[in-house]
Amino acid sequence: MNLRDPDLRVTSHVARDLIQSAGLFHHAQNVIWEYVSNGLQYVDAGVQPMVKVAVMSAPRKKISIQDNGRGMSSADLRRFFQMHAENQDRAAGRPGRGYFGTGKSAAFGIANLLRITTIRENRKCVVELHRSDVDAASSGAAVPVRQIELDQLVRAPNGTIVEIEEIRNVRIDRDEIRRTLERHIRYWRGAVVQFNGQNIE
């Protein structure tokens, strides 16, 4: 008798994939550069890229990366949060860093909360991804993204703010963050990057 098992197929465990990807990011400076480089690359035509990085200690540790990039629509966010999604710029024949994007997971190398506030064509979205939700998805099911605002009409320029909160007991070395930004920014002619209010040269 030739029996067939319908459940015998290649599958993926979303939560484990995400945490494994986050394991590539042990240091705050590497996490920050992941989001800074995204903000520098994905800008509208004719816009000078600008990214502002802020590291705060009080009342609690928090990292914020704000850019004037092209922002993301709700459809873009669905692709952003898809594990191993194809880079849309590469698919369209435009240069794009990274094939499968680690922005959704980098923050979890050091923290438990990723918040994204993004505006694209006068529509604002605010979403959060929580480590507790990732851990709860033990069956391998999809991890929920908390939707705070979705496609709210606003009068504001395109751009994205990434906030990393509930930072675990990791050392945040501001000097090393600055050195990392200085080392990488040389490859981005015309771009402006600020760290805690001061331009990186």
Q: What is the per-residue pLDDT for 1?
A: 57
C-alpha to C-alpha distance for 106 and 115, rounded to whole angstroms: 12
pLDDT in tens, 86-101: 545 444 444 555 444 6
pTM, rounded to two decimals? 0.87
Asked which of 1-15, 50-64, 155-169 is least confident by mean pLDDT, the reply is 1-15
Using the 8-state DSSP alphabet, how is residue 2 labeled? -
Contact 150, 106 (CB under 8 A): no
Tokens matching residue 118: 């993004």
Indicate the pairing of strand 146-153 with strand 123-130.
Answer: antiparallel
Distance of CA 179 to the CA centre of its chain: 21
Contact 121, 167 (CB under 8 A): no
Asked which of 5-9, 65-69, 89-93 is least confident by mean pLDDT, the reply is 89-93
Domain ranges of the chain: 14-199
Q: What is the per-residue pLDDT for 168?
A: 93
Beta bridge partners of 67: 51, 160
CB atoms within 10 A of CB 2: 3
In this structure, whether the domain defined by 14-199 belongs to CATH 3.30.565.10 is answered with yes
Q: What is the per-residue pLDDT for 86?
A: 52
Q: What is the per-residue pLDDT for 96?
A: 52
Question: Which pLDDT band, with edges at 50, 70 and 90, does 2 fall under?
Answer: low
Q: What is the per-residue pLDDT for 178?
A: 97
Q: What is the per-residue pLDDT for 137?
A: 86
* pLDDT over 90 (residue 34): yes
Contact 140, 14 (CB under 8 A): yes
C-alpha to C-alpha distance for 122 and 120, rounded to whole angstroms: 6
Count of CA atoms in the C-beta half-sphere (13 A) of 115:
14
C-alpha to C-alpha distance for 138 and 196, rounded to whole angstroms: 38
